[in-house]
Amino acid sequence: MRSDKVSLSDIARLAGVSTALVSYVLSGKEKEGRVGQEIAAKIRAIAKELNYQPNLLAKSLRKGQTFTIGLIIADISNPFFANIAREVEDESRRHGYTVIIGSSDEDADKAWDLMNVLINRQVDGFIIVSSEHSERLVEHLQRIRLPFVLLDRHFPQFDTDFVVTNNARASYEAGLHLIENGYQRIGFIAYQSAMFHVSERIRGYQEALRDRQIQVEANWLKRVSFQAIETEIRTAIDELVSAESPVDALIFSTYGLAVNGLKYFNERRLRVPEDLGIVSFGQAEVFDLYYCPISYMRQPIDVLAKKAVDILMSRLKGEMSESQQYTIEAQLVVRESSRRRMIR
């Protein structure tokens, strides 16, 4: 029997029960319908054997919902965001929702277009990893009262639901770790961005140095544009290691910056950690595959995604009135790239 032709009445006929009884079981309401466990198990087994698929359109019309979520992420090519998408998708499925994913490529105009496409698809709500200059997207969703949760990045000027990493604390711990391992001239490479999470990572790094009485030099901080990352990170590294007093360690504020930086290290034959100690944000297999495993700040992707989905589900059920805002701690994973510096 073809799955697209299977109906509740088909299952009812094979199970020898009423269509209403099948409906109760397959919608998880067998207790309300006082259906026995043995009959419920039989109905589910028949439905599985026939590969029964519920009529989501009919369900949507009844409830006024599509049971879909729009997920807009910043850059699908980045393993961090790809893993976020997977976690959000898995968690949403457990709630009976399908996720439609779009990548803004760190472009606010593209994020705006994606939002409108997904609204036209009648998604019930959004989970959004914001790109720079996408404030109007947030304002629009607030204005039309469509539920959304900001994930990983947020705008402090807006009272919204969000789930983020404690970025300042994570950078602080990365800087402190390097200092305690004997590094004194620590550079920091970040994106050229006014996003709050970027400024928080810079702030945490600078506070770590100041708290250990290290004079922060302005030229230790380098900013790289997302659109010209490959060329600009080369210039940044050249300036950091070729200065009169070169840096002895580097913190990369994102995975993408770290990968491009490590590629250039190989070209310049810079040794890690002999020439430069390294700590990066983000986790990916490449950090294990590099000849010197890279220390990194692990952001709890599963926790971030689950919390964002849970908040959105509560919003869709009308269970909350106040904004839900969560800041999750990152964890330093120490590898060979930041081992104690040998005095030469």
Q: What is the pLDDT of residues 23-60, one digit of tens each?
A: 778 776 666 666 788 888 888 899 888 887 766 555 55
User: Domain segments of the chain: what residues?
Assistant: 3-54, 64-165+301-328, 167-299+332-338
Q: Do the domains at 3-54 and 167-299+332-338 have one common CATH topology?
A: no
Residue 26 exposure: Cα atoms within 13 Å on the Cβ side: 25
32 and 24 in contact (C-beta within 8 Å)? yes
Q: Look at residue 44 in the predicted model and tell me its pLDDT.
A: 87
| Nearest by Cα to 239 from 228, 224, 227, 225 | 224
Q: Where are the alpha helices (DSSP H) in 95-228?
A: 108-120, 135-144, 167-180, 196-211
| Nearest by Cα to 279 from 213, 221, 335 | 335
Q: Which phi and psi angles does 69 have, rounded to 5°?
A: -120, 140
- pTM for the full predicted model: 0.80
Fold of 64-165+301-328: Rossmann fold (3.40.50)
Give mean pLDDT, residues 142-152. Answer: 96
Q: Look at residue 288 in the predicted model and tell me its pLDDT.
A: 83
279 and 189 in contact (C-beta within 8 Å)? no
Least confident of 37-41, 98-102, 167-171, 311-315: 37-41
Q: Look at residue 232 in the predicted model and tell me its pLDDT.
A: 97
Fold of 167-299+332-338: Rossmann fold (3.40.50)
Please give the CATH number for the structural domain made up of 3-54.
1.10.260.40
SS3 call for 22 = helix
